Chain A
Amino acid sequence: MRTVFNKTLLKIAKKDERIFLVLADIGYGEIEPFAKAFPDRYFNVGVAEQNMTDIACGLAMEGNIAVTYSIANFPTLRCLEQIRNDVCYHNVNVKIVIIGGGLAYGALGVSHQSTEDLAIMRALPDMVVVAPADFTEAEAATYAMVKHPGPVYYRCGYKKEPRLHKGKIDFKIGKAIQARAGGDITLIGTGTITYRVYQAAELLVKDGIQARVLSMHTVKPIDKEAILKAADETRGIITVEEHNIIGGLGGAVAEVLAEGGVGVPFKRIGLPDTYVHIVGSHDWLLDRFGFSPESIAQVAKNLLKCRQ
């Protein structure tokens, strides 16, 4: 997915000379085409994320669109105050892109696992939070991110994510995309985990359950309409996110449901409120923490049983 993002950004930058890429020594093997095509609009400031973020802020204050880009938590948590005080408070056109959201960097350990980002970025005023599910969304989200005036957080996958959407999609910031129709229960995913959510929905068919799958690629602003519609039309809602159980997609959906007063059976699937202390590949960790399609399907069945 990171390759899709970089190719798309390069394509956009060819037409839009406001685009700058500001790095902190992480881009090897991906950003070279941009650096070669636009040496004047590419800055690598060394291993210095705070500086990276504020340089981007300064560039954006002069009417440009500055993209910061790094792995997992480095362009977010390391420089959170710079994002808050300088990017968001000034409300400037800085786009913060991370590669490897969630557990994508599995075996590299917790320093490289981005599992609180959605909650933290979502809490910043004026910040838009997007997490594309597959390559098709990743490309569309890049265009949408550039078009949106103001700060955007873009949680990119790593590589080789399976395709969720078969055909063309209508990607709009703040509007969920239905990846599968169904009237029994609604499964909402965000980011690359959504493919496993889709697989879970396919498994449920043999139990006679038709699950609706929503790709909630924008965690903020959240698509209230799609959530309330799901609450009205289906018998339960489950959120699935590769993120701490606290404050991310599940939290955002719960807020909508609680204030909507709809009282639908609801369950969040996320990482338990603890860190991963052992080595694991991305897929191995996901299975272990309850993100296998079978586990997700089981949670759905249990939720529907509760209802009866």
Chain B
Amino acid sequence: MKIKELQRICLEVRRDIIRMLGEAGSGHPGGSLSAAELVVALYFSVMKHRAKEPDWEDRDRFILSKGHCCPLLYAVLARCGYFPVEKLLTLRKLGSPLQGHPHNLEVPGIEASTGSLGQGLSIANGIALAGRLNKKNYRVYCLLGDGETDEGQVWEAVMTSNHYHLDNLCAIVDRNRLQIDGKTADIMQLEPYPEKWRAFGWYVIEIDGNNLAEVLGAYLQAEKIKGKPTVIIARTIKGKGISFMENEVEWHGQAPKKEEVEKALKELGERI
């Protein structure tokens, strides 16, 4: 798929996110918007998967470890055809399967139920180990938030992926430099960040995570790395695409009000 087409899908997905959150009245826009290119590129260009056969055994697996950014994943899955796009507006509504954090048993295409941070990469390790033993060629992708990597379990998992040389596993860190309470640098210093991953034995690719050409290039490169796991540290802008949300900590977990939805949609519309 051409980059132009992927850019169009990213815009569409960002509009979905804004509409969903506006309708729900709550949710997490910042990290959903920052990671749009990272997830759209996976589902529309990189991963092998079948929307009409979500459990296809040879599919590539995607674990959204930062489960609170599920509006992004729901929008991407709907745009891929896993479920009707209209269903997106039931986010957080009574009786809807689209919970505030994703659940694999209720939503087609969701690989793992997440929501409590720091657990996805361990699950991804288990799936990657099983794939290798079952002689399956699927790849496992796991998206983490940068703030999420404060969790100790992440580093248990980081050691494990290296120990077992899981080259069928690719972690992506949405390095938007903000977490709930403020800047990652102020809450808990992560730097020297790429060096940490390298020291744990990972192959590190650093990119502009909102630049689709760089994102696609990184995924291609990651597939070629053998004998060790790869992490893509994707520098992104939290709230990307909406001027008043970009790099603003308050938009981590707050939904836009009606006028803000209109303003945001207008901004997204103007960029087509």
Interface of A toward B, CB cutoff 8 Å: 40-41, 43, 45-46, 48, 50-51, 53-64, 66, 81-82, 85-86, 89-91
Contacts and interface: CB of A to CB of B under 8 A. Distances in A.
Interface in B115-132: 115-116, 118-119, 122-131
22 contacts: A43-B129, A45-B156, A46-B156, A50-B152, A51-B122, A51-B153, A51-B160, A54-B153, A55-B126, A57-B123, A58-B122, A58-B128, A59-B129, A61-B111, A61-B130, A63-B130, A82-B153, A85-B113, A85-B114, A85-B115, A86-B113, A90-B112
B126 A56 contact: yes
A53 B126 CA distance: 9
A48 B156 CA distance: 6
B116 A90 contact: no
A45 B158 CA distance: 11
A226 B123 CA distance: 40
A264 B270 CA distance: 75
A90 B104 CA distance: 7
Nearest to A94: B126
A43 B134 CA distance: 15
Contact of B125 (A40, A55, A81): A55
Contacts of B115: 85
B124 A58 contact: yes
A82 to B, nearest CB: 6
Contacts, number: 93
Given A40-B133, A45-B160, A50 B123 contact: no
Interface string B129-150: 1110110000000000000000
Contacts of B122: 50-51, 53-55, 57-58, 82
A61 B123 contact: yes
A62 B131 contact: yes
Contacts of B114: 85
Contacts of A41: 133
Contacts of B157: 51, 54
A271 to B, nearest CB: 31
B119 A62 contact: no
Contact of B126 (A40, A50, A61): A61
B113 A55 contact: no
A150 to B, nearest CB: 12
Given A56-B126, A89-B103, A90-B112, A50 B133 contact: no
B105 interface: yes
Contact of B119 (A60, A82, A91): A82
Given A58-B125, A62-B134, A90-B113, A46 B159 contact: yes
A64 B114 CA distance: 20
A56 B126 CA distance: 6
A60 B112 CA distance: 12
B161 to A, nearest CB: 10
Nearest to B159: A46
A303 to B, nearest CB: 45
Nearest to A84: B116
Given A54-B123, A56-B126, A61 B134 contact: no
Contacts of B134: 62
Nearest to A22: B126
A66 B125 CA distance: 13
Interface in B81-108: 103-105
A57 B125 CA distance: 10
Nearest to B130: A62
Contacts of B129: 43, 55, 58-59
Interface string B173-197: 0000000000000000000000000
